[in-house]
Every structure is written in C-alpha cells, then in structure tokens.
Amino acid sequence: MHHFHYQNERLYCEDVPLADIAAKAGTPSYVYSVATLTRHFTVFDGAFEGVPHLTCYSVKANSSLAILGLFASLGGGADIVSGGELFRALKAGIPPDRIVYSGVGKTEAEIDYALRENILMFNIESAEELEVINSRAAAIGATARIALRVNPDVDPRTHPYISTGLRKNKFGIDVDGALKAYRRALELKHVEILGVDCHIGSQLTEIAPFVEALKRLKILVGRLAEMGIKVQYLDLGGGLGISYSEETPPHPREYAQAVVQELKDLPCTLIFEPGRVIVGNAGCLIMQVLYTKQTQTKEFVIVDAGMNDLVRPSLYGAFHGIQPFEKGKRETRVVDVVGPICESSDFIARDRKLPALNRGEYLAVMSAGAYGFSMSSNYNSRPRAAEVMVDGDRFFITRERETLEDLVRGESIPDSIERARQI
Ligand SMILES: *Cc1c(COP(=O)(O)O)cnc(C)c1O
C-alpha cells in the first residue's frame, strides 16, 4: 500500500504531481511520501500492540534526517550500524534509550561515542568485540548494556548478498560460541547482559525462516536461564520483504502473529529492526530521459540517474518498476534503461517492456525508498541527488542536490605538487 498513483493520466505522490517536483527540485531526485511512511510504520508497530516491544527502525535502509525525524515523532527507535548513523539518529531526535547498535566492525571511537550517549544496547558480533566494549566501558566509567548477536544458521532464502544468518556469513556468533561468550560476559564488570539479538537477512518473503530462527533462539534463551541469565530483551532484527514486482511477502500482521505465537511464554520485551518494509515502497527516484538510442541488437533509453544514485539493479540484479509521469496510450517497446555512468553494469532495468519514450520526458523508478539514496555515491564525480518529502498537497526539499563544490570539499593538492604545476 503506497501513495503513488495516476490521476488523469499524470503520476502523483499523494496530492502532488511528480512533474511539479521535477520542475522545482530537478532530476534525479528521491521523493518520499509522508502518508506512506507513517502508514507503514504504524502498521508494523501496531501489529505488536499489547506485546511489550520497541520498533527500532534500521537507519541504513534510508538515513534521511527528515524520515528519522518522522519516525521519532511516531515513537520509533533506531537500529544503527555506525557512529555516523548514531549522529543522525540523535540529531533527528530519537532518544538514546531507544537506540540499538549492530555491526561487525565497531571502532573504539564509535563504541566510546555510543557509551557516552548511553544508548540502550550494543548488539555484539564477536568474542573480541565483547572484550573491547568491556574495556572501553571501564575506561569511560560506564556500563555497556549488551546482547550477543547470534547467528542461528538458517537459510533466509533471499539474495546471497543480503543473507546474514548462515554459518558462512560474517555476522553474529554461532550458538555454541554465544554460550561461551555469555559465560565470559558474566565475568566482565563493565557489561550488563540485557538479551539476545538475531538478524538473518533482508527481503525475506516467507515466514518460515523467521520462525526457524526463533525456535533456535528459544533453546538458547533456555540455556541462558540455566546459567542464571535472564533475557529482558529479545531483538529479532529486521528483514521482512516487500513487493518489487511479483513477490508476495507476508503482511506485518502475519509476521507478528507467527512471532507472538512462538514466543508467548517468554516474558521479555521484543525489539524489531525493520528497514525495507517501512521505507521501501514509500519512495521513488524521479529521472529524465536524456536520449534514446537504437543499436543493432538493443534499444536503449538513457536517463539522468545512474548506478551511483540507485545501485540495487547493478549490485543485486534487483527489479524496480518504472512508470512514466504521463501515462497516455502508446505502443510498448522492450528497452534497456541505462544511466550515464561509464560501466556496463550501469542500468536501472534490462529488457523491460515500457511505453515508447521520448527525449526529455520524466520517469519514476518505484520502490526506491530503501537502500536507494543511502547506498548512493559520487562515482563519476556525480553530485548526489536531492531528496524531497511530500505531505498531502505540499512538498519540501529535505536534502539539497549536492553542488560541484560539495564534490571537492575537504580535498587539497599538496604544496609540492602545486609548486611543480606552476613551473
Ligand atoms: C540491514 C539490517 C536490518 C534491516 O533489514 P531490512 O531488511 O531492511 O528490514 C536490521 N538489522 C540489522 C542488524 C541489519 O543489518
């Protein structure tokens, strides 16, 4: 369910024609719908009504301050994976006691920052990290509240690059290793064990792998109880998928039902780290057709958005729907929609059936709210896109398009080279 739709053959986000946004903000730009973001957050969070829980939105899916601010206003927390994401979450007004920190490679500086801000919990991913967090907490005179991220070795049946809960993945600690690490944590003076954490992957379209992981976690929680460790928080991570084209992922309510059913005897607070399911279908990337080009084997539509703006098609072979701003009846063509970047992997869509397109017209790449802007780069020295938030019949540019000066900010040419250049 989202708020991008045609009205009199023109594509709208809520009550704003996307053409108005393109005219004001230019292209490529990301456009987010407040109504959709709000609905997705409240549907997910509401699915666990009556169960003690905390919805910690996964910042990496889309780290826009405006979006974080919206979720803060809805009572959301944050799942962060870096000091930069902590900075953003705090700046957007998310309270530290609703922030959990995941990631296999937390630096000491990042750990210190999170300790000083007194976040709710570190999700620890290795035995070494546990030692470092304890010693940094000792140095600062703090206590680190922790969970261990357990790798339950279940197959999430998703793209290999976004599977995280298999034994061969770099994430978490296997169940036996976790028991050892919990035993060690009991001896450490500057950590307080709060719970258990798990995140098995992204874009899951079935319930079964979640349930399988939960069953394994329950066994672990039982073993921990025998060791005298009471689990106050059970963090089940994120990963619920969305529909990009034909997928039929479970509704958050079905997911919640399965989770609650499985956990009804456990008296603890649940933490969820949803990312994609909240923001994915709440955003699109708008772009303009620069050229059309017929070669001997293919027809190309060359647009002003590239893999630096949206890398998912190049990185995962991901599918994104493409819709023209003006619908109208026209013949259809099979085309490759490609960007301006000097890589053959720079495509938005391949062999896609689309209405015949002309130079100058505008298109929207759908379902681009998650892992879109947040994975964008400056490759080919392309300034990053603007971001726009639509709220009813109004819209706001929430991030200005980068300028050419932004591209070289902080760079310098060493004096020695500068001198040589002037000779
Ligand atoms: C990426 C990530 C998430 C969010 O995953 P989605 O599939 O976007 O819901 C949650 N938790 C952790 C630890 C992650 O790395």
Query: What atom of ligand 1 comes closest to residue 123's alpha carbon?
Result: 13
Residue 299 has pLDDT above 70, yes or no: yes
- For residue 187, the model assigns a pLDDT of 97
- For residue 416, the model assigns a pLDDT of 87
The residue written with tokens 């530290």 in the block is 96
Residue 419 has pLDDT above 90, yes or no: no
User: Which residues, 6 or more positions from 161, have their beta carbon under 8 angstroms from its beta carbon?
Assistant: 315, 316
156 touches ligand 1 (CB under 6 Å): no
Residue 162 has pLDDT above 80, yes or no: no
Mean pLDDT for 336-347 is 96
Question: For residue range 55-79, what is the model confidence (pLDDT) as tens digits?
Answer: 999 999 999 999 999 999 999 999 9
Residue 420 has pLDDT above 80, yes or no: no
Q: Is the dihedral of CA 348, 349, 350, 355 positive or negative?
A: negative
Q: What is the percentage of the chain residues whose pLDDT exceeds 90? A: 91
Q: What is the percentage of the chain residues whose pLDDT exceeds 70? A: 100
Residue 139 has pLDDT above 80, yes or no: yes
d(CA 164, CA 332): 40
pTM of the model: 0.96
User: Which residues, 6 or more positions from 343, have their beta carbon under 8 angstroms from its beta carbon?
Assistant: 307, 314
Question: For residue range 361-371, what is the model confidence (pLDDT) as tens digits?
Answer: 999 999 999 99
d(CA 354, CA 202): 29
Are the C-beta atoms of 368 and 64 separated by less than 8 Å?
A: no
- For residue 401, the model assigns a pLDDT of 98
372 touches ligand 1 (CB under 6 Å): no
- For residue 166, the model assigns a pLDDT of 82
pLDDT tier at 158, thresholds 50, 70, 90: confident
Pick the residue with more confidence: 153 or 390?
390
Instruction: Write out the two tokens for 374.
Output: 């947040």
Residue 159 has pLDDT above 90, yes or no: no
163 touches ligand 1 (CB under 6 Å): no
Least trusted range by pLDDT, from 54-68, 126-140, 151-165: 151-165
- Residue environment code for 178-208, b if the CB has 16+ CB neighbours within 10 A, otherwise e: bbebbeebeebebbebbbbbbbbbbbbbebe
Mean pLDDT for 92-106 is 98
Query: What atom of ligand 1 comes closest to residue 370's alpha carbon?
Result: 8
Mean pLDDT for 347-361 is 97
Residue 1 has pLDDT above 90, yes or no: no
57 Cα–ligand 1 center, Å: 9
Instruction: Write out the two tokens for 225.
Output: 């109880």
152 Cα–ligand 1 center, Å: 16
pLDDT tier at 93, thresholds 50, 70, 90: very high
Query: What atom of ligand 1 comes closest to residue 276's alpha carbon?
Result: 8
Residue 100 has pLDDT above 90, yes or no: yes
79 touches ligand 1 (CB under 6 Å): yes
DSSP line for 348-395: EEEEEEEE---TT-EEEE-S-SSSSGGG---GGGPPPPEEEEEETTEE
pLDDT tier at 246, thresholds 50, 70, 90: very high
393 Cα–ligand 1 center, Å: 32
Mean pLDDT for 397-405 is 98
276 touches ligand 1 (CB under 6 Å): yes
Query: What atom of ligand 1 comes closest to residue 204's alpha carbon?
Result: 7
Question: Domains (ranges, CATH) in the chain?
Answer: 4-31+280-407 (2.40.37.10), 34-276 (3.20.20.10)
Type and span of the H or E element at 25 = helix 18-25
198 is catalytic: no
380 Cα–ligand 1 center, Å: 29
Pick the residue with more confidence: 329 or 48?
48
146 Cα–ligand 1 center, Å: 18
- For residues 290, 296, 297, 303, the Cα torsion angle rounded to the nearest 10 degrees is 0
User: Which among 44, 45, 62, 79 is the best mutation to test ligand 1's pocket, defined by most ligand atoms within 8 Å of the CB?
Assistant: 79
Residue 423 has pLDDT above 70, yes or no: no
